[in-house]
Amino acid sequence: MAGAVLSAAAVLGAQEAQPPILVSRQLAALERLAVGDIVELAADARGTNARPFRIVGIYEPTPDPMRLGSVPREVRLHLPDLLALTRDPAVPAGSEHVEAINVALADPGDAQQFARDVNARLPGLVARPTGAAGPDNPFIVIERFHLAIAVVTIVAATVFLLALTIMLVDERRETVGVLRLIGLPVRRILTQVLVEGVLIASAGALFGLALAAASQGLINRFFQWRYDTALIFVRVTPEVAATCVAIAVPLGAAATVAASWALLRRGALRLARR
């Protein structure tokens, strides 16, 4: 009994002696790994100088649009363990170099000032906020591309809406002619048409936002399953909703008034077909 206890204690001590690592969820699922497993890592595919490590946790990799489509099979090690695993035998310990360091500030608003201080005090180093994007940044290019598509879509939709509104208004020309014959001025009819256009455009905008809000979850879940990532593909924010309403309602009302004005320029008798 004492020997079994000592053997168990020795095994636990050996496991605790292994350096700890974190394994990405995708790699753990692929290799069927679990917390507490002992794995061996090496710097090359042949397994040269492999070292044992103990899995102490499984994490979800940070979503990265630049890596969409590639399954993140990653392992996180402590820096000393990583250096010991990847160091060239010809390189003395402590003489390694790094190419980039990420610094998290307590107040992200101090990023610009911090970068200026580092650049002034440490010549040869280049410090810049991660949010500072240049004109050649891929996300800036994608944003401009989306803006161009949005402008073209809005212009085409406006032309289609105007044509549809003209057809709908033309079907009501007899009603408009009767209103003209009983003495209603053109300004009164246009005001009524404007109010009607605003109400219809507002209802359409709200319906579109409700449909987008209801479908964004399905879209995100499908593409997250498809690419095995936690990346958010669609998000309807209050700013996006306000922008949609600010564009849709004025365009709908303007199209209704423009179509009605072209109809009201005709004579009352001609509109009433008398």
Domain boundaries, the chain: 2-97, 107-132, 138-272
H/E run at residue 39:
strand 38-41
Q: What is the DSSP letter of 43?
A: S
Query: Mean pLDDT in each 10-residue stretch from start to end of the chain (274 residues)?
Result: 37 63 90 90 82 91 78 86 80 72 84 87 81 64 84 85 75 67 71 82 88 91 87 87 88 80 60 52
The residue with tokens 């350096």 is 19
The answer for residues whose C-beta is within 8 angstroms of residue 61's C-beta and 6 or more apart is 24, 25, 26, 72, 74, 229, 230
Look at residues 111, 272, 78 and name the one whose alpha carbon lies nearest to residue 182. Answer: 272
Whole-angstrom distance, CA of residue 62 vs CA of residue 60: 6
Task: Say which DSSP state 67 is in.
Answer: G
* Predicted pLDDT at 273: 57
**Which helix (H) or strand (E) is 55 found in, with range?**
strand 51-59
Collect contacts of 42-51 with beta carbons under 8 A, ≥24 apart. 42/85, 43/85, 43/86, 51/19, 51/81, 51/84, 51/85
Beta-carbon count within 10 A of 237 CB: 8
Q: Residue 220 is which amino acid?
A: N
**Residue 208, SS3?**
helix
Q: Cα 11 from chain centroid?
A: 47
Q: Among all chains, which residue has been given the structure tokens 């359409």? A: 204
Q: What is the pLDDT of residue 240?
A: 86
> What does DSSP assign to residue 237?
-
- For residues 215 and 193, give the distance between their C-alpha atoms in angstroms, rounded to a whole number: 33
Q: Identify whether the C-beta of residue 12 lies closer than 8 Å to the C-beta of residue 35.
A: no
Give the CA-trace dihedral at 214, 217, 218, 220, to 10 degrees.
Answer: 140
pTM here is 0.59
Strand 75-77 vs strand 20-24: parallel, antiparallel, or unpaired? antiparallel
Distance CA 251, CA 28 (A): 52
194 and 257 Cβ atoms separated by less than 8 Å: yes
Measured in residues, the chain has a length of 274
Q: What pLDDT does 176 receive?
A: 66
Cα–Cα dist 21/55, whole Å: 5
The two tokens of residue 60 are 């979800």
Amino acid 5: pLDDT:
35
